[in-house]
Amino acid sequence: MGRIAGSAIIAMSFASVVYAQETLKGEVATVDEASGKIGIKLSGTVGSGDTTAPTNFKVQDGLIFNAVKPGDKVLIIVERAGNDMTIKQLTKE
């Protein structure tokens, strides 16, 4: 019985990680390598957020800083952990 419960907990944990990922589209507004963040003006609405101001995202892979500049249109996959959002993957459009 304990083994089944353990497997269920692992499966539920994995589901919550997958659920925490989102795909978003927008335009790079700021690139701040010193702080490890990129500001992106998102297309459309995200939750109840203000879409006129850029949203700051942490960057998982520092090589992303070499690939983007303000004005680039991007598609990003982000992972939410509490109030922090981290770019896991970035693709230029």
Q: What is the pLDDT along the chain (93 residues), one digit of tens a residue?
A: 445 544 444 444 444 444 478 899 999 999 999 999 999 999 875 555 555 789 999 998 999 999 999 999 999 999 988 788 999 999 998
Bridge partners of 57, per DSSP, are 38
- Phi/psi for 49 (5° steps) reads -70, 160
Go through the domains of the chain in sequence order and give each one's CATH number: 22-92 (2.40.50.320)
Round to whole Å and give the CA distance between 23 and 75.
Answer: 7
Distance in angstroms (rounded) separating the CA atoms of residues 78 and 31 = 16
Residues 18 and 12: their CA atoms lie apart, in Å, by 10
24 within 8 A of 78, measured Cβ to Cβ:
yes
Which element (helix H / strand E) includes 66? helix 64-67
